[in-house]
Structures are given as structure tokens and as C-alpha cells.
């Protein structure tokens, strides 16, 4: 079953994929913070408003995944944002997440890049887990 990108159902499935990723479990043993991924909306496209998904991550486990709430945005220490075209390229493997950050295609809207850099392997495995979610992008994306 395919899930539309960055919806509540997509986030729940991403959390399942994280929990089934042994490489993530091994690389994220000391990661203890929730994370939000954000698609920046664009007027005139299928995704006009921002979409945000939240995962509660602790010691190699995803405890929950869902569409982010306003409280999540306030309380979550890390928000990673990109436009829909960039997320599509990341999930297809055309752009590596760290390369995307260096190129300015992906922005750390909230949080400390130095902290993330200490967990590069875990961050990459989060993306690997996301690529395992059968994802639908609207037709006008990428």
C-alpha cells in the first residue's frame, strides 16, 4: 500500500520501518530526541501548505510516528525541511541527506547541526527507513 508523502499514515509506516531497520538500531543507540521532517508548501502545487511529520526517537527505537502538531513543532529540538522536489530526490536516492544540507537544499530549521553531525550514520538510516515506505508524491512534484 502506498502512502501520500508526509501524512499521518505515512509517518506511522515510517516509524514501523525505522523499528525494522537493524542498522538504525545499531547506529542510534544514544539518540534520544524527537525529530520533525517538513515539506515546505508551495502555492499552485498539490502541496500548497507545509506538511510536517513527527517521530519520537529514543535509543534506536521509534516510539511513535504521526503528523506533527503545533505542540510538537514547539517542543521538538530538530526540524529538517525541504521542498517536495528535494524530498522526492532524497527518497529516490538521487540526493544524499548530508549533501542536500551542504548544498542548501535541505535546511535544519531547528536544532544544532553539530549535534546531528555526531549522528550522521543514524540520520542516514532514518532516510533509508523512509525510502522503504511505499510513497506517493502528487503528480506535479519532481
What band does 140 get if pLDDT is binned at 50, 70 and 90?
Answer: low
Q: Is the predicted pLDDT of residue 63 greater than 70, yes or no?
A: yes
Average the pLDDT over 75-97 and give the result: 90
Q: Is the predicted pLDDT of residue 114 greater than 90, yes or no?
A: no
- Kindly write down the DSSP assignment for every residue of the chain, as one continuous string: --EETTSHHHHHHHHHHHHT-HHHHHH-TT----EEEEEEP-TTSS--S-EEEEEEEETTEEEEEEEPPHHHHHH-SEEEEEEHHHHHHHHHTSS-HHHHHHHTSSEEEES-HHHHHTTHHHHHHHHHHHHTS-EE--TT--
Q: What's the mean per-residue pLDDT of the chain? A: 91
Average the pLDDT over 126-136 and give the result: 93
Give the pLDDT confidence score for residue 59 in this predicted structure: 92
Domains of the chain with CATH codes? 3-136 (3.30.1050.10)
Amino acid at each position: 500500500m502506498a502512502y501520500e508523502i508526509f501524512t499521518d499514515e505515512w509517518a506511522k509506516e515510517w516509524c514501523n520501518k525505522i523499528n525494522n531497520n537493524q542498522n538504525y538500531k545499531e547506529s542510534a543507540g544514544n539518540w534520544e530526541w524527537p525529530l520533525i521532517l517538513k515539506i515546505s508548501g508551495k502555492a499552485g502545487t498539490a502541496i500548497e501548505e507545509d506538511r510536517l511529520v513527527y517521530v519520537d526517537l529514543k535509543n534506536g527505537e521509534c516510539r511513535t510516528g504521526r503528523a506533527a502538531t503545533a505542540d510538537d513543532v514547539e517542543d521538538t529540538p530538530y526540524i529538517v525541511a525541504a521542498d517536495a522536489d528535494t524530498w522526492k530526490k532524497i527518497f529516490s536516492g538521487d540526493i544524499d541527506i548530508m549533501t542536500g544540507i551542504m548544498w542548501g537544499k535541505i535546511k535544519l530549521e531547528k536544532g544544532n547541526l553539530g549535534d546531528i553531525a555526531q549522528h550522521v550514520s543514524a540520520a542516514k538510516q532514518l532516510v533509508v527507513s523512509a525510502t522503504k515506505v511505499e510513497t506517493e508524491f502528487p503528480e506535479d512534484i519532481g
